[in-house]
Structures are given as structure tokens and as C-alpha cells.
């Protein structure tokens, strides 16, 4: 139990740092609401390393904490809707074991943007926001692919380190 809490805490911290770093990157994509989604690197990695339930907790805790820290509770509705739809799609694909982290992350990026548009349509009570859908799906897929490549490269080292630290604890006990 202590290990689970420590690992979850480390991933929440990583996701929060990545979210903050993203706010510092002066990139203007010319598309309202378009972001890199760096925190998804931590969520996808946690999904493959820790499992779906722990990764979901990490995603939700990160979204809520960032909203409270930066005082943007209105944005939390968009992030939470996008994050939950994204996570649901990623968890389904992960369970099928048919896609690599790259594919799972690509779908997650696209679904996050779809979720945010669903939230926006509900808030403004106007379906015209869906004119952004093709652009945001493409952007989410591209950033998802890039983050999926990163997760795919991180996972072997993290799995190896996790096994080694477990063996070390057993020999020291």
C-alpha cells in the first residue's frame, strides 16, 4: 500500500510539473485551446506501469489540483471532461493490448480535444464549436503520438528500475 501511494504521488507530481512547464512554453498554435498536453506523458506511462485505476486517480487528482492552484475552476470543467473521455478511450485500448503506448496516447490526445469541445458546446449552448473538431482532432493526435513515443521510451527503463528496487528491498529485509 505504501508503495502504491508513493508511486501515485510521484506521478501526480510529475504530471503537475509537466502541466506547469507547458504554461511556460511560449508557443502560439493559432488555435484557441490548443496545448501540447505534456501531463498526458505521466498518465500514459502510469497506465502501462501501474494500471488503469491508479492512472485514472493520477489524472483526476492532477486536474483538480492544478485548477485549485492556478485558480481557474472554469477551466477544470473542460480539462475534466477531456481528461475523462481521453482516459476512457486509452483504458479501453490498453486493456485490449492491441496498441502500443504511441497508439493509445494518439487516441487519448484526440479524445481529450473531443471531450473539451463537448464541454464547450454545453457551456455556450452552441454546436458551432464543433467546426474546430477536425483541426483539434489532428492536433491532439499529433501531440499524442509525440507523447506516446516518449512514454514508449520511458517504460523499459522505469520497469527495469522498478524490478531492481523491489529485488533490493527483498534482499535487505
For residues 120 and 35, give the distance between their C-alpha atoms in angstroms, rounded to a whole number.
Answer: 16
For residues 90 and 78, give the distance between their C-alpha atoms in angstroms, rounded to a whole number.
Answer: 18
pLDDT at 172: 67
- Please answer whether residues 48 and 101 qualify as being in contact, where contact means their C-beta atoms are separated by less than 8 angstroms: yes
pLDDT at 40: 97
- pLDDT higher than 70, residue 152: yes
- pLDDT higher than 90, residue 32: no
- pLDDT higher than 80, residue 164: no
By percentage, how much of the chain surpasses pLDDT 90?
A: 76
Which whole number is the average pLDDT over 36-47?
Answer: 96
Q: Is the dihedral of CA 79, 85, 88, 91 positive or negative?
A: negative
Look-up of cell digits 512554453: 25
What is the pLDDT confidence band of residue 165, given thresholds at 50, 70 and 90?
A: confident
pTM here is 0.90
Fold of 2-157: Arp2/3 complex 21 kDa subunit ARPC3 (1.10.1760)
pLDDT at 3: 86
Q: What is the pLDDT of residues 117-151, one digit of tens each?
A: 999 999 999 999 999 999 999 999 999 999 999 99
pLDDT at 115: 97
- Please answer whether residues 120 and 129 qualify as being in contact, where contact means their C-beta atoms are separated by less than 8 angstroms: yes
Q: What ranges do the domains of the chain cover?
A: 2-157
Q: What is the pLDDT of residues 66-88, one digit of tens each?
A: 999 987 888 899 999 999 999 99
**How would you class 124 by CB atoms within 10 Å of its CB: exposed for 0-12, middle for 13-18, buried for 19 or more?**
exposed
Amino acid at each position: 500500500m505504501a508503495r502504491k501511494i508513493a508511486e501515485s504521488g510521484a506521478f501526480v507530481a510529475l504530471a503537475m510539473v509537466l502541466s506547469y512547464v507547458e504554461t511556460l512554453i511560449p508557443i502560439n498554435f493559432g488555435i484557441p485551446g490548443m496545448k501540447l498536453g505534456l501531463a498526458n506523458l505521466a498518465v500514459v506511462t502510469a497506465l502501462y506501469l501501474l494500471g488503469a485505476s491508479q492512472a485514472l486517480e493520477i489524472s483526476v487528482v492532477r486536474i483538480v489540483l492544478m485548477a485549485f492552484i492556478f485558480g481557474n475552476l472554469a477551466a477544470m470543467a473542460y480539462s475534466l471532461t477531456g481528461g475523462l473521455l481521453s482516459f476512457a478511450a486509452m483504458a479501453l485500448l490498453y486493456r485490449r493490448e492491441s496498441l502500443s503506448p504511441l497508439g493509445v496516447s494518439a487516441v487519448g490526445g484526440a479524445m481529450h480535444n473531443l471531450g473539451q469541445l463537448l464541454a464547450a458546446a454545453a457551456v455556450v449552448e452552441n454546436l458551432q464549436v464543433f467546426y474546430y473538431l477536425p483541426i483539434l482532432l489532428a492536433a491532439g493526435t499529433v501531440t499524442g503520438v509525440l507523447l506516446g513515443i516518449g512514454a514508449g521510451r520511458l517504460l523499459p527503463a522505469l520497469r527495469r528500475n522498478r524490478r531492481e528496487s523491489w529485488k533490493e528491498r527483498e534482499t535487505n529485509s
